[in-house]
């Protein structure tokens, strides 16, 4: 049952009150202006006034009593007149027409007062509703009962489930800003965190103003009546109807948006949701139906959304939700992977969706995929026309370059940060301060590379930091970052005491500054205060449990001290950091626990597919296993080639070629092995390992004299492990000859 909802309830109520008052006034006029019994023509006798009033208002019984009293107690004149009027009254009462007039008179007298009272009550209700209407927003839309033909237990409850989901979404979007530290823990630089359209999507307002009506045709009539009354009173601007039906393996959802003003269909959406009929997946299907129901509405009712597809908006929010779950649920890496998948899917729907690109870039920074993040932020900065978005992308492009930790990347980052500083206006002070402080720490890192320009870069770092620190009203994070740059500059100059002082100042500005805590730990190690250094690293580890970097650094210190157990524990705590997994794998490798070592290296590549150190160790571990398994050997070759492809450090190329030569040798690809070994030797002739694998390839190809020369070179270089292997092979060759 649905009432006529096109009429405004307040307007209807107002006109109802008006009609009631008009009726009351009309009856009052009828009663006062009409002389039904000719009473106005009777002689004026004060003693009979009350009796005549009762007669004129139809109160016949009271009039008779009053006349009888006057007949008995009045003067002769009054008594005679009273008797005449009473006889006349009784004559009217005995006549049907006269009796009818009496009833009409009574109604005209008694009803107006009741109408006025009732009208006054309704008028007060109308005023209260008007005030309430001014204070409370009119519902934007009402979700009516959904026709369910899918077999899912959802149709009746969908409106309320949609309301709960909107509330949850609102919470996630507001909470995501508080998880910015999850990224800064890993990149250790100031950033502007993830964005989820919450500035243009007021989910709280949608929840407050959306009218949710649950129920279907099977509800009791009273429930349907209450829903109809509620809908009629609230008068939403739009109605949302829909149906869910099953089609082959899919669930089909149709959403219909109706404009309430003229009851026309404004838009329809048809969404297909995969359904495998698996009981375990049933809840997932229900959640997909709910999301597929509300996101088109969010998209429709929000202005300035950065995408043209509601599906892209949904995928972005799902990715942000997974990122938030990572923060909430003990930093399980699975959530980061799902977040990346959702954001990538958002870009499949809309390749120009800025927020999806931006958030995906930040996620890549978080995961250590610095080259991918660099490429993505560069693409954003080149493609967007909006200045704020362009500045954000340029800044994080510079951050990605910084994180690559290579000389050319640092130089390029300097150019990027200087460009931002020079081109920014005064309205972009936050970006300017971030770029200036990050420029300072970039110079400091360049100074620490032990190049011939150490003094130059240390001076530039301090100058850039001082420019930031001289500015008014800068945040504690920016101050600490600038001070970390100054401390690192002094550290590079081996002025450890001054570095420690500056790092402590930075910690006083911002007690949870990871840059300053890590820098302090490194400086304390240099002056032999190992326990104090470990305390600084432990504090950094406590402050950044999700990044794993501090745990990784602690593990390295324990490893250098020969405490493998403590090192392993630290690396395990830092398992969210890909390099920590590589280091843990190396411990397993050292202990000849090849299966666990291989598993850690594999996990590291899942976390960061561009981590060459993980790929090369996969290859090396499989080689050490001395397996004949074709699948494992194929994996080893793939890992070695991938490591070679990813390697940008010229000093490491010899090793990548040497490991690939070993794998190819195991797989029987002798000519290819020989070529890789030659490349390894050419890259760095001082490496015994390269000459040894060259000798092996030459030996198996029957080039014994060349193998003999290569082995002699290994012995000359006098590296113990490889010298022993070379001497064994020489004895074998000499024995065969």
Residue 493 or 173, more confident? 493
Task: Kindly state whether residues 81 and 226 are assigned to the same domain.
Answer: no
Close Cβ partners of 481 (under 8 Å, ≥ 6 residues apart): 189, 190, 437, 438, 440, 441, 513, 515
Choose one of 305, 322, 357: the last residue of a domain.
305
Predicted confidence (pLDDT) at residue 222 exceeds the cutoff of 70: no
Please give the average per-residue pLDDT across 465-476, as a whole number: 88
**pLDDT, tens only, 362-374:** 888 877 788 889 9
**pLDDT, tens only, 384-400:** 888 888 888 999 999 99
Choose one of 88, 114, 135: the last residue of a domain.
135
**Residue 231 pLDDT:** 55
**Residue 476 pLDDT:** 85
Residue 203 or 547, more confident? 547
**Domain CATH code at residue 689:** 1.25.40.10
**Residue 133 pLDDT:** 64
Please give the residue range of the domain that contains residue 113. Answer: 9-135
**Residue 225 pLDDT:** 47
216 falls in which pLDDT band (50, 70, 90)? Answer: very low
Please give the average per-residue pLDDT across 495-505, as a whole number: 94
Picking from 42, 62, 65, the residue whose alpha carbon sits closest to that of residue 54 is 62
**Domain CATH code at residue 164:** 3.40.50
Q: Which of 128-142, 487-501, 578-592 shows the lowest mean pLDDT across its residues?
A: 128-142
Percentage of the chain modeled with pLDDT above 90 = 31
Task: Kindly state whether residues 172 and 126 are assigned to the same domain.
Answer: no
**Residue 672 pLDDT:** 94
Please give the average per-residue pLDDT across 676-702, as a whole number: 92
**Residue 495 pLDDT:** 93
Choose one of 287, 305, 323: the last residue of a domain.
305
- Among left, alpha and beta (phi > 0; psi -120 to 50; other), residue 600 is alpha
Task: Kindly state whether residues 154 and 299 are assigned to the same domain.
Answer: yes
Quick check: is 375 in a domain?
no
**Residue 208 pLDDT:** 40
Q: Which of 142-146, 191-195, 408-412, 525-529 shows the lowest mean pLDDT across its residues?
A: 191-195
218 falls in which pLDDT band (50, 70, 90)? Answer: very low
**pLDDT, tens only, 653-685:** 999 999 999 999 999 999 999 999 999 999 999
Predicted confidence (pLDDT) at residue 586 exceeds the cutoff of 90: yes
Residue 488 or 278, more confident? 488
Return the sign of the alpha-carbon dihedral for residues 260, 263, 269, 275.
Answer: positive
306 falls in which pLDDT band (50, 70, 90)? Answer: confident
**Residue 542 pLDDT:** 86
Task: Kindly state whether residues 68 and 155 are assigned to the same domain.
Answer: no
Task: Kindly state whether residues 90 and 222 are assigned to the same domain.
Answer: no
Quick check: is 213 in a domain?
yes
342 falls in which pLDDT band (50, 70, 90)? Answer: very high
Please give the average per-residue pLDDT across 690-710, as a whole number: 91
Q: Distance between CA 664 and CA 418 in Å, rounded?
A: 47
**Residue 25 pLDDT:** 87
**Residue 238 pLDDT:** 83
Quick check: is 98 in a domain?
yes
Please give the average per-residue pLDDT across 269-296, as a whole number: 77
Quick check: is 464 in a domain?
no
228 falls in which pLDDT band (50, 70, 90)? Answer: low
407 falls in which pLDDT band (50, 70, 90)? Answer: confident
Tokens encoding 3? 């009432």
Residue 645 CA: distances (Å) to CA of 23, 347, 409, 656, 657: 93, 27, 18, 9, 10
Q: Which of 219-233, 381-395, 423-437, 611-625 shows the lowest mean pLDDT across its residues?
A: 219-233
233 falls in which pLDDT band (50, 70, 90)? Answer: low
Task: Kindly state whether residues 49 and 122 are assigned to the same domain.
Answer: yes
Predicted confidence (pLDDT) at residue 498 exceeds the cutoff of 90: yes
Task: Kindly state whether residues 186 and 39 are assigned to the same domain.
Answer: no
**Residue 735 pLDDT:** 73
Picking from 575, 187, 136, the residue whose alpha carbon sits closest to that of residue 377 is 187
Please give the average per-residue pLDDT across 333-339, as a whole number: 84
Close Cβ partners of 74 (under 8 Å, ≥ 6 residues apart): 47, 82
**Residue 510 pLDDT:** 87
**Residue 10 pLDDT:** 67
**pLDDT, tens only, 126-152:** 888 777 666 656 667 777 777 778 777
Task: Kindly state whether residues 90 and 225 are assigned to the same domain.
Answer: no
Task: Kindly state whether residues 210 and 234 are assigned to the same domain.
Answer: yes
Predicted confidence (pLDDT) at residue 623 exceeds the cutoff of 50: yes
Close Cβ partners of 314 (under 8 Å, ≥ 6 residues apart): 291, 292, 295, 346
Task: Kindly state whether residues 216 and 92 are assigned to the same domain.
Answer: no
Element (DSSP H or E) covering residue 242: strand 238-247
207 falls in which pLDDT band (50, 70, 90)? Answer: very low
**pLDDT, tens only, 3-50:** 344 455 667 778 888 898 888 888 888 777 777 778 778 888 888 888
Average pLDDT, the chain: 82
Quick check: is 95 in a domain?
yes
Task: Kindly state whether residues 83 and 178 are assigned to the same domain.
Answer: no
Quick check: is 232 in a domain?
yes
Instruction: Say how many domains are in the chain.
Output: 3
**Residue 140 pLDDT:** 73
Quick check: is 65 in a domain?
yes
Tokens encoding 192? 């502007």
**Residue 4 pLDDT:** 40
- Among left, alpha and beta (phi > 0; psi -120 to 50; other), residue 58 is left
Element (DSSP H or E) covering residue 311: helix 310-328
Predicted confidence (pLDDT) at residue 431 exceeds the cutoff of 90: no
Cβ neighbours around 653 below 10 Å, total: 17
Quick check: is 422 in a domain?
no
Task: Kindly state whether residues 153 and 125 are assigned to the same domain.
Answer: no
Percentage of the chain modeled with pLDDT above 70 = 85
């Amino acid at each position: 049952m649905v009432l006529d909802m096109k009429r405004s309830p307040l307007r209807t109520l107002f006109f109802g009150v008006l009609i009631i008052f008009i009726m009351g006034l009309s009856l009052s006029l009828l009663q006062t202006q009409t002389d039904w019994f000719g009473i106005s023509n009777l002689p004026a006798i004060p003693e009979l006034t009350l009796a005549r009033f009762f007669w004129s208002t139809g109160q016949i019984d009271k009039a008779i009593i009053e006349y009888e009293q006057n007949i008995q107690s009045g003067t002769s004149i009054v008594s005679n007149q009273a008797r005449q009027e009473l006889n006349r009254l009784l004559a009217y009462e005995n006549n049907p027409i006269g009796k009818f007039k009496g009833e009409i008179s009574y109604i005209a007298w008694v009803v107006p007062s009741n109408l006025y009272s009732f009208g006054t009550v309704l008028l007060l209700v109308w005023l209260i509703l008007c005030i309430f209407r001014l204070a409370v927003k009119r519902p934007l839309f009402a979700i009516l009962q959904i026709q369910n033909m899918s077999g899912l237990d959802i149709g009746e409850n969908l409106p309320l489930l949609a309301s709960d989901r909107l509330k949850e979404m609102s919470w996630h979007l507001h909470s995501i800003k508080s998880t910015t530290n999850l990224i800064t823990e890993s990149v250790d630089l100031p950033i502007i965190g993830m964005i989820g359209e919450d500035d243009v999507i007021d989910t709280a307002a949608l929840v407050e103003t959306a009218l949710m009506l649950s129920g279907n045709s099977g509800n009791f009539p009273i429930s349907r009546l209450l829903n109809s009354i509620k809908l009629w009173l609230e008068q939403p601007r739009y109605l949302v109807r829909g149906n869910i039906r099953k089609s082959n393996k899919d669930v089909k959802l149709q959403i219909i948006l109706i404009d309430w003003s003229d009851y026309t269909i404004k838009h329809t959406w048809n969404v297909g949701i995969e359904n495998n009929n698996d009981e375990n997946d049933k809840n997932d299907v229900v959640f997909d139906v709910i999301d597929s129901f509300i996101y088109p509405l969010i998209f429709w009712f929000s202005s300035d959304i950065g995408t043209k597809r509601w599906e892209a908006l949904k995928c972005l929010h799902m990715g942000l939700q997974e990122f938030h779950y990572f923060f909430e649920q003990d930093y399980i890496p699975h959530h980061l992977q799902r977040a990346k998948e959702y954001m990538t899917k958002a870009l499949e729907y809309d390749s120009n969706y800025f927020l999806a690109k931006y958030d995906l870039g930040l996620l890549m920074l978080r995961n250590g995929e610095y080259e991918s993040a660099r490429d993505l932020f560069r693409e954003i900065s080149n493609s967007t026309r909006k200045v704020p978005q362009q500045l954000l992308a340029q800044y994080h492009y510079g951050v990605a370059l910084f994180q690559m930790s290579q000389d050319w990347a640092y130089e390029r980052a300097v150019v990027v940060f200087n460009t931002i500083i020079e081109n920014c206006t005064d309205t972009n002070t936050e970006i300017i301060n971030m770029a200036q402080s990050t420029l300072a720490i970039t110079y400091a890192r360049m100074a620490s590379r032990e190049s011939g320009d150490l003094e130059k870069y240390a001076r530039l770092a301090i100058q850039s930091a001082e420019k930031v620190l001289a500015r008014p009203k800068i945040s504690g994070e920016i101050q600490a970052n600038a001070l970390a740059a100054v401390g690192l500059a002094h550290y590079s100059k081996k002025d450890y005491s001054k570095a420690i002082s500056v790092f402590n100042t930075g910690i006083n500005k911002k007690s949870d500054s990871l840059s300053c805590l890590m820098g302090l730990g490194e400086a304390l190690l240099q002056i032999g205060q190992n326990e104090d250094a470990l305390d600084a690293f432990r504090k950094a580890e406590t402050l950044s449990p999700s990044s794993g970097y501090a745990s990784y650094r602690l593990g390295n210190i324990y490893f250098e001290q020969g405490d493998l157990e403590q090192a392993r524990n630290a690396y395990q705590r830092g398992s969210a950091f890909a390099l920590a997994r590589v280091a843990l794998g190396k411990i397993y490798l050292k202990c000849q626990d090849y299966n666990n070592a291989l598993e850690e290296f594999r996990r590291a590549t899942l976390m960061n597919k561009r981590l060459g150190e993980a790929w090369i160790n996969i290859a090396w571990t499989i080689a050490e296993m001395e397996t004949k398994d074709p699948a494992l050997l194929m994996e080893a070759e793939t890992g070695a080639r991938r490591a070679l492809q990813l390697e940008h450090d010229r000093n490491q190329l010899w090793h990548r070629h040497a490991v690939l030569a070993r794998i190819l040798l195991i797989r029987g690809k002798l000519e290819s092995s020989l070529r890789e070994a030659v490349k390894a030797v050419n890259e760095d002739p001082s490496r015994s390992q390269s000459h040894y694998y060259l000798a092996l390839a030459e030996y198996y190809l029957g080039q014994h004299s060349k193998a003999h020369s290569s082995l002699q070179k290994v012995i000359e270089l006098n590296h113990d492990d490889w010298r022993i292997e070379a001497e064994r092979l020489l004895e074998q060759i000499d024995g065969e000859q």
